[in-house]
């Protein structure tokens, strides 16, 4: 990941925090940096371990609460893995896309197809505010590894 890409992620996350009325503290900036430097998913414990190197007094509860709120704001995407539990990654706020997620190695591929673009017959006058579309499966590399074992 390039430094420019990392800075973009940090700036996007900070912008989301500001728009939602959060004071951008050094701890929250560090949280954004952790996700900007990570290409994959992080568990709350992974984030906590990285946060405590810079802020030894931070609690796991505080980290988890910030992750949950950042997810609700749209700055983080959260996924639940059967083996690994709840994990987070930085949201891509620059364009709309969805994910293919390998349940084996957690590799994520983006794809631009959106089922919401198809005509939906929703009951009543339901107004959609947001949506996510994730497809779980086995990536090509993991499929090849399992056939060579």
Model confidence pLDDT, tens digit, residues 76-105: 988 887 777 888 888 876 667 777 888 888
Domain boundaries, the chain: 3-90, 98-148
Model confidence pLDDT, tens digit, residues 30-45: 999 999 998 778 999 9
Helix axes of 60-73 and 3-19: crossing angle, nearest 10 degrees: 90
Tell me: domain 3-90, CATH 1.10.10.10, correct?
yes
Tokens in use for 106? 């957690």
User: Pairing between strand 98-102 and 134-137?
Assistant: parallel
Q: What is the mean pLDDT of residues 134-144?
A: 87
Residues paired with residue 90 on neighbouring β-strands, in sequence order: 76
Helix axes of 26-36 and 3-19: crossing angle, nearest 10 degrees: 140
Helix axes of 44-54 and 26-36: crossing angle, nearest 10 degrees: 130
98-148 CATH fold = Dna Ligase; domain 1 (3.30.1490)
% of the chain beyond a pLDDT of 70: 97
Higher-confidence position of 5 and 18: 18
Asked if the model's pLDDT at residue 1 lies above 70, the reply is no
| pTM to 2 decimal places | 0.72
Give the per-residue pLDDT at 95.
66
Tokens in use for 61? 């509860």
Give the per-residue pLDDT at 149.
64
Model confidence pLDDT, tens digit, residues 113-124: 777 777 777 788
């Amino acid at each position: 990941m390039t430094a420019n890409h990392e800075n973009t992620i940090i700036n996007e996350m900070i912008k989301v925090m500001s728009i939602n009325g959060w004071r951008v503290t050094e701890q929250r900036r560090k949280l954004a940096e952790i996700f900007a430097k990570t290409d994959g998913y992080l568990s709350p414990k992974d984030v906590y371990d990285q946060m405590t190197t810079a802020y030894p007094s931070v609690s796991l509860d505080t980290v988890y609460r910030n992750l949950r709120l950042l997810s609700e704001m749209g700055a983080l995407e959260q996924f639940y893995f059967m083996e690994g539990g709840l994990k987070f990654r930085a949201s891509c706020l620059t364009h709309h896309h969805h994910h293919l997620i390998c349940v084996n190695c957690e590799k994520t591929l983006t794809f631009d197809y959106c089922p919401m673009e198809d005509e939906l017959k929703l009951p009543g006058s339901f107004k959609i505010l947001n949506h996510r579309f994730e497809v779980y499966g086995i990536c090509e590399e993991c499929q090849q590894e399992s056939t060579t074992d």
